Amino acid sequence: MGTLDYKSYLKDAKDVHVNNTAAELIQLASSLNEGLLTVDGSFSVDTGKHTGRSPKDKHVIADQDTEDNVWWENNARIERSKFDLLEKDMLEHMKGKTLFIQDLHAGTDPDERIKVRIITEFAWQALFIQHLLILPQRSQQIDFSEDLLIIDLPSFKTDPDKYGVRTDTTIACDFTNNKILIAGTYDAGEIKKSVFTYFNYTLPPKGIFPMHCSANSDSKGRNTAIFFGLSGTGKTTLSADPERLLIGDDEHGWTDKGVFNFEDGSYAKAINLSKEAEPQIYDAVRRFTTVLENVIVDTDTRELNFNDGSLTENTRAAFPMAFVGDNVSKDGMADIPSTIIMLTCDAFGVMPPISKLDSNQAVYHFLSGYTAKVAGTERGVVDPSATFSTCFAAPFLPRHPIVYGRLLKEKMEKHNVKTWLINTGWSGGPAGIGQRMPIQLTRNLLTAAINGDLDNIDMRKDEYFNLMVPVSINGDSSYLNPIDTWSNKDDFNIQAKKLVSMFVENFKKFENDVDSEIIKSGPIL
């Protein structure tokens, strides 16, 4: 694990709490005034200025092992000497402090499971990561020898000049010695995503496809579906189907045997959460030991206010998968996917509600990772803004996107996997003029795709996006041809051409790395 023996530094800490239970950790967090215990027994914390991830502050050691394997356009370099100095200073920083250690597993597949040791400064962060990763049996924590060490010290601020980093916040990865250092941020999501980043680096050489996706299956763990999608596309909502088993809502690996969850917990958005819209998540969030980030709590009544985004719109809740209910896979595993769903929320209002993708088109849209957001409003006119996050996971990719794109294509073709692109965005006009796709329409299309009801129906090729689109489903053609939903066809054509040009421009950075068939499968200018 490198040259420094971190264990020798622990003896100089004020207190070291090792593998406390959830109940013990929430008691410690409360007694240490780390946050507020709510009326429900959940625990809410204020993470300060960091209310989300800091992707530009992630650094990777460039060495013999990583030089030709890391996507350096997406990952900043850090010299080994600077990393070693940072590690030494962070270990020195632990002296006199109360520390919390959690020995956990990551990966539900026993063949791919790794042992992770996390050292933190806060009881609530230890509880957070205990909820999200896999809690071993007590016997498995005896003489624990980690495969990955994560040291997270929010109170340690990094000096850019001293350590060769960008800011006073740093996530530094040593893939050669299996260490990750997190400094200067109170956002616990960095711990979770560090494990994901590690898997994204270590699994591809083994032929395993790491995915930022949700997954569900039928009651027997078959007819597996995986869902790719950026924030706001409906990935979590649509995969949490009461008629199917939820495998996981965020991170998975695809082996020759099937799909496995990297975690055993959920990191759900809490802003505007309601019992009516998401009853399972709502109940889970209000359970004893659930960790809440930046959710406003009434200091007198200790009641939660999910509608208050004064600290951030990115309020979060961390809880074990078991809190979600009975419709959750018991082992976090399922068969090889039969269906891939790629979700986009098109605020331009020009993409079909559902399209079928062949393997080349799937790679194109996977590498594109498109969704759109409402950028701003002036006198009632809303200008959509396109977002492209390659592989639907750009901040967490240590390797070049083409590595993951090739894995997707190989597995699709080997297992004859059906792939569908579903648009949960606007119809009849762009955001501000048109209307959001009816949620029931989306659910019906999704169910039909997963059940195979769309396999043998008449299809047309979309003029702009070069995708096959159902002409009608059960005699109903509503919404299926986007231009038909617009009152002004000229405006539709302008918007469609505008979005197509964005796709083409964004994909130029991949043109030297992919086959011509993939380029030709994309939208047409």
Does residue 302 carry a catalytic annotation? no
Distances (CA, A) of 250 to 136, 198, 241: 20, 15, 15
In the prediction, which pLDDT does 382 show?
A: 52
Q: Enumerate the domain spans of the chain.
A: 6-36+49-206, 265-324, 338-520
Q: Annotated catalytic, 286?
A: no
At the topology level, CATH places domain 265-324 in Phosphoenolpyruvate Carboxykinase; domain 2 (2.170.8)
Q: Is 8 in the active site?
A: no
pLDDT for the residue 17 = 98
Instruction: Please write the tens of the pLDDT for every residue from 243-295.
Output: 999 999 999 999 999 999 999 999 988 989 999 878 888 999 999 999 999 99
Catalytic residue among 231, 312, 385, 389: 231
- The catalytic position among 103, 250, 346, 462 is 250
Residue 312 annotated as catalytic? no
Active site residue 236: yes
Residues 132 and 192: their CA atoms lie apart, in Å, by 7
Domain 338-520 in CATH 3.40.50.1860 = no
For 6-36+49-206, CATH gives 3.40.449.10
Catalytic residue, chosen from 117, 192, 235, 411, is: 235
**Catalytic residue at 224?**
no
Structure-token pair, residue 453: 């009801």
Q: How far apart are CA 273 and CA 282, in angstroms?
A: 7
Tokens of 364: 């194109």
Q: Which residues of the chain have pLDDT under 50?
A: 1, 375-381
Catalytic-role residue among 193, 286, 399, 411: 193
**Could you say which of 58, 252, 316, 365 is catalytic?**
316
Query: What does the pLDDT read at residue 1?
Result: 42
Residue 498 CB partners (closer than 8 Å, separation 6+): 348
- Encoding tokens for residue 23? 């109940």
**289 a catalytic residue:** no
Query: Quick check: is 84 catalytic?
Result: no
Of 59, 131, 212, 399, catalytic = 212
Fold match between domain 6-36+49-206 and domain 265-324: no
Active-site choice (108, 214, 236, 290): 236
DSSP character for 328? Answer: B
For residue 261, what are the β-bridge partners? 252
* Nearby residues of 307 by Cβ (< 8 Å), 6 or more positions away: 271, 272
Q: Rounded distance, CA 221 to CA 351, Å?
A: 32
The CA distance from 55 to 193, in Å, is 10
Q: Which of 42, 50, 53, 169 is catalytic?
A: 53
Burial class (CB in 10 A: 0-12, 13-18, 19+), 327: middle
